[in-house]
């Protein structure tokens, strides 16, 4: 079974997709073209060095012989253009735009001219150091940027059928296949930053050519094996300063452990997620995809084991992963999830979404949809302001402006989103995720349609079924599915009941209550569909107080407020400062109020009464016995986590003390 056509009608995501289409895409286009009209704000850019310029399109023009000059930017600057292009590919599906398509076609033409005859394309190497082609893929981002192009080219071809877009991608794939593999004449290598694996798997899906999967699998299989001559020799080249890596020298990890690159053990032997979070999760995404394509059970088992590890031991409640800045935007150790020094890069949450999709496409378990939902409504979109023009790289769960300013350990934790970054990986990553959110709604197998996400849509399937999903998720738990069959269709429609609703939910079919046991989190309705069938799902939208595993030190004695999939937070703009001095009672009374005034998007806010502990006097005693403590009742307002930092900067706190 296949999806023939899908149209997102969802109010929540339509807002976001409109922001991406109308604001983010043009804004990014101006940035990567160094439009003089764009003013990049320097404030709050901090460690990420707000750029003076991007130069990303210019680099491609120089490589294409269309302009003269030097390369500028990070080694992976090309990927800014490719991720923009991929986002464009998705937006054109829901908002056709001939002018934009023309711009994109022109970019593809430049890319095509920049590409070398053998398919290679990396503007840094081509412009500045052609002799270093593929001599240091352990640290260079050559395979990373080509991977991003391949993703973009495939997506753009799928939307527009512009042949050249796919041809460039295929030539890149051919180039990589020609240079990497087990054969003696090829390099027995793999990149320091995984990405090419997942891209080649996508290219194989599109073209049906298994050689792309084969080389992707080769790189996955080879990674972490010993002897590790290729990788070590390449690393030595860089460390001997034969090659300068502007990114490498900028990284906080000046001498990374092999685990930073996921290169300490073969992937099938890995027992926990390690190292740079985005690298790790991109690798996992490729692993899951290749495992499905090849039917490699041990590879899927490794993906599944590491899925459990990351989601059960190293993921914030917002879906954020990678808790340590100084360790290199990296995973640390089990249950180490500090809220106020979190890294939780926007890219890492996007990567978790990609990983979840690949796991989901391989194996029927609502867990993948649950985690994906957590990412979609929390840790990904928190990376963008509601004006679509300001971005977070780091998504903390607790912020104190004083600490961000004065504590070097928290200097990466920003209180305001920045206008752009020197290392601009996050904004276009989020753009392509939001623009392609339709791809995450359904999973189809031979005999079933799985409704994974409650994102309103009208979708036709190639078996003649049409599903119209409506509702006001995530604010309302009432979701309707109108399923229409032109002729009688025998199939299963399975609806994910989210983990947060599994104790309380109701489903009716044409008004009649349906009572079926959930199967791996799905409610399966198997029948001969004819005419229009109305399925109404009512999810549990009560305010939930979530507690963390007690091994998560920073969350002990605290609760996080969640309603539906949305994690809530306290912000100073509503609640004043000293947020930590608020303590919720054991059974707080919550009031749920729709609010379309406060932010550029409608939200639902939650209010309750807490106990606020007053600081005694300006200079009282720092330590005393409890009798000296004064408390008063205080109303607290919780807003969705994703909406924080859209008002006056101040404190923010997800995990709140509870009696």
Q: Quick one: 483 exposed, middle or buried, by C-beta within 10 A (0-12, 13-18, 19+)?
A: buried
Residue with smaller CB distance to a second copy, 1 or 546? 546
User: Which residues in 441-480 contact a second copy (CB under 8 A)?
Assistant: none
User: Do residues 169 and 149 touch, judged by C-beta distance below 8 A?
Assistant: yes
CA distance 294 to 553: 41
Closest contact distance (angstroms) between CB of 659 and a second copy is 7
Q: Which of residues 71-100 bind a second copy (CB under 8 A)?
A: none
Residue 18 binds a second copy, judged by CB under 8 A: no
Q: Does 616 bind a second copy (CB under 8 A)?
A: yes
- Position 520 contacts a second copy (CB under 8 A): no
Beta strands 512-513 and 582-584 are unpaired
The residue from 329, 345, 375, 571 that is catalytic is 329
577 among known catalytic residues? no
Tokens of 365: 């378990």
Q: Is 589 in the site for a second copy (CB under 8 A)?
A: no
| In the complex, minimum distance from the CB of residue 398 to a second copy, in angstroms, rounded to a whole number | 9
- Identify whether the C-beta of residue 473 lies closer than 8 Å to the C-beta of residue 492: no
**Rounded CA separation 546/222 (Å):** 41
549 scored as a contact of a second copy (CB under 8 A)? yes
Segment interacting with a second copy (CB under 8 A) among 71-79, 156-164, 478-486, 579-587: 579-587
Q: Which of residues 124-183 bind a second copy (CB under 8 A)?
A: none
**Per CB under 8 A, does 629 bind a second copy?**
yes
**Is residue 373 flagged as an active site residue?**
no
Closest C-alpha among 616, 613, 605 to residue 584: 613
Q: Does 546 bind a second copy (CB under 8 A)?
A: yes
The whole-angstrom separation of Cα 359 and Cα 157 is: 25
Site for a second copy in 292-351 (CB under 8 A): 308-309, 311-313, 315, 317, 324, 326-327, 332-333, 336, 341
Stretch that binds a second copy, among 1-9, 28-36, 426-434, 552-560 (CB under 8 A): 552-560
Residue 352 contacts residue 370 (beta carbons within 8 Å): no
| Window contacting a second copy (CB under 8 A); options: 55-63, 416-424, 452-460, 555-563 | 555-563
**Are the CB atoms for 373 and 498 separated by under 8 Å?**
yes
Rounded Cα gap, residues 94 and 437, in angstroms: 11
- Strand pairing category for 652-653 and 566-571: antiparallel
Residue 229 neighbours by CB under 8 Å, 6+ apart: 188
User: What Cα–Cα distance (Å) separates residue 425 from each residue in 234, 294, 404, 571?
Assistant: 25, 30, 22, 27
The 387-416 contact track toward a second copy, x by CB under 8 A, reads -------------x-xx--xxxx-------
| Contact between 204 and 210 (Cβ < 8 Å) | yes
Catalytic choice (350, 425, 426, 651): 425
Pairing of strands 3-8, 652-653: unpaired
Among positions 69, 96, 531, 550, the unique one binding a second copy when judged by CB under 8 A: 550
- Burial class from Cβ neighbours inside 10 Å (0-12, 13-18, 19+) for residue 517 reads exposed
Contacting residue, 93, 414, 558, 605, with a second copy by CB under 8 A: 558
Residues 267-296 that bind a second copy (CB under 8 A): none
Nearer to a second copy, 534 or 629 (CB): 629
Q: Which residues lie near a second copy (CB under 8 A)?
A: 252, 308-309, 311-313, 315, 317, 324, 326-327, 332-333, 336, 341, 400, 402-403, 406-409, 499, 544-553, 556-560, 578, 580-581, 583, 613-616, 619-626, 628-629, 657, 659
Provide the annotated active-site residues: 329, 425
């Amino acid at each position: 079974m296949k999806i023939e056509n899908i149209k997102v009608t969802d109010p929540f995501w339509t807002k976001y997709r409109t922001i991406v289409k109308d604001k983010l895409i043009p804004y990014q286009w101006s940035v990567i073209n160094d439009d003089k009209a764009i003013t990049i704000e320097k404030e709050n850019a901090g460690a990420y060095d707000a750029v003076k310029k991007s130069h990303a399109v210019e680099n491609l023009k120089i490589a294409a012989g269309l302009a003269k000059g030097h390369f500028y930017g990070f080694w992976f600057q090309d990927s800014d253009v490719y991720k923009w292009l991929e986002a464009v590919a998705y937006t054109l599906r829901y908002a056709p735009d001939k002018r934009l398509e023309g711009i994109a076609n022109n970019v593809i033409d430049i890319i095509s001219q920049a590409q070398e005859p053998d398919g290679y394309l990396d503007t840094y190497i081509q412009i500045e150091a052609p002799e270093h082609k593929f001599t240091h893929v352990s640290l260079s981002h050559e395979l990373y940027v080509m991977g991003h192009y391949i993703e973009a080219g495939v997506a753009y071809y799928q939307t527009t059928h512009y042949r050249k877009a796919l041809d460039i991608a295929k030539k890149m794939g051919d180039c990589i296949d020609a240079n990497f593999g087990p054969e003696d004449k090829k390099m027995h290598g793999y990149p320091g930053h995984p990405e090419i694996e997942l891209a080649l798997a996508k290219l194989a899906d599109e073209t049906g050519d298994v050689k792309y999967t084969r080389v992707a699998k080769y790189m996955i299989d080879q990674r972490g094996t010993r002897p590790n001559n290729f990788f070590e020799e390449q690393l030595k080249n860089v460390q001997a300063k034969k090659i300068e890596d502007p990114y490498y020298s900028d990284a906080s990890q000046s001498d990374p452990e092999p685990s930073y690159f996921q290169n300490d053990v073969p992937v099938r032997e890995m027992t926990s997620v390690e190292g740079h979070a985005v690298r790790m999760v991109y690798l996992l995404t490729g692993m899951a995809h290749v495992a499905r394509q090849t039917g490699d059970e041990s590879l899927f088992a490794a993906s599944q084991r590491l899925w459990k590890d990351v989601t059960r031991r190293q993921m914030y409640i917002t879906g954020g992963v990678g808790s340590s800045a100084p360790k290199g935007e990296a995973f640390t150790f089990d249950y180490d999830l500090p809220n106020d020094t979190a890294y939780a890069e926007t890219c890492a949450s996007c990567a978790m979404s990609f990983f979840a999709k690949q796991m989901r496409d391989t194996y029927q378990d609502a867990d993948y949809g649950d985690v994906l939902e957590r990412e979609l409504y929390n840790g990904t979109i928190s990376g963008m302001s509601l004006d679509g023009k300001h971005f977070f790289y780091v998504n903390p769960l607790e912020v104190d402006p004083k600490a961000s300013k004065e504590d070097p350990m928290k200097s990466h934790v920003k209180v305001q989103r920045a206008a752009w970054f020197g290392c601009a990986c996050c904004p276009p990553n989020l753009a392509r995720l939001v623009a392609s959110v339709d791809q995450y709604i359904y999973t189809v197998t031979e005999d079933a349609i799985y409704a994974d996400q409650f994102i309103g849509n009208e979708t036709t399937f190639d078996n003649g079924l049409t599903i119209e999903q409506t509702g006001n998720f995530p604010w309302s738990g009432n979701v309707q599915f109108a399923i229409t069959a032109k002729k009688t269709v025998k199939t299963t429609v399975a609806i994910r009941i989210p983990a947060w609703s599994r104790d309380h939910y109701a489903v009716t079919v044409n008004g009649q209550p349906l009572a079926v046991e959930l199967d791996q989190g799905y409610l399966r309705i198997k029948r001969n569909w004819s005419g229009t069938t109305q399925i109404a799902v009512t999810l549990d939208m009560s305010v939930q107080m979530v507690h963390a595993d007690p091994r998560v030190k920073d969350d002990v004695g605290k609760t996080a407020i969640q309603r539906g999939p949305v994690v809530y937070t306290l912000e100073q703009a509503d609640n004043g400062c000293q947020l930590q001095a608020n303590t919720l009672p054991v059974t707080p009374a919550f009031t749920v109020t729709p609010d379309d005034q406060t932010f550029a998007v409608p939200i639902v806010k939650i209010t309750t009464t807490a106990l606020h502990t007053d600081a005694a006097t300006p200079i009282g005693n720092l330590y005393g016995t409890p009798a000296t403590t004064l408390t008063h009742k205080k109303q607290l307002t919780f807003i969705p986590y994703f909406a924080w930092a859209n008002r006056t900067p101040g404190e923010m706190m997800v995990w709140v003390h509870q009696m």
